[in-house]
Amino acid sequence: MMGGMGGGMAGWRGGGAAGAVWAQEKYELKTSMGEVVGRLGTVLASQKKYGIYAAASILLSSAFQMVPPVATKYVIDTLIPRADTRTIIALAIGLIMLYLARFGMLYVARWSTAVAAQALVYDLAQRMFENIQRLSLRFYERNGTGDIISRVSSDISVIQQAVTGGTVNGVVGLVNITAFGIIMVVLD
């Protein structure tokens, strides 16, 4: 009896012993994982414009991030021995402007990712709603309304978090690590 409970009382629903459902049937994915990823790719491709904005701004901000090490090498190797304070001050002002531009690019990357994620969530919610409307009455007899709404909300939330939750930071970090590696090899 306990083996069919599927993880304790997670499947408990209803009130009292007579109306209790101790275990719900386990749903298995009937489509292949490749097909699911392909469908998700189709939905993501509809937000291609914002993806291009995000990618371009990430690459540009990472390029801006690579300038300070080169500028520091130039200051230490060339400007300090010549005591060229005017150029050092101009370079410092230029680096401040460069950092402001970099933060602006990161803002554009986060904004475009957020816009794409919201459009993606809207599109997925609309598709799910249309699909739910086409389901048979037998499906609604087997599954409670709360279960359906909970699953739809949960699935959409997970996808939204996957798109926005650290995607920009992860890509920026990966690009920066690669670029910093190249800069270190070039400088030394």
- Measured distance CA(110)–CA(112) in Å, rounded: 6
- pLDDT for the residue 101: 92
- pLDDT for the residue 30: 75
Q: Which segments of the chain have a pLDDT < 70?
A: 1-29, 165, 168
| Residues whose CB is less than 8 angstroms from the CB of residue 101 and which lie 6 or more positions away in sequence, other chains included | 64
Q: What number of residues does the chain have?
A: 188
- pLDDT for the residue 135: 82
* pTM to 2 decimal places: 0.62
Q: What are the structural domains of the chain?
A: 47-187 (1.20.1560.10)
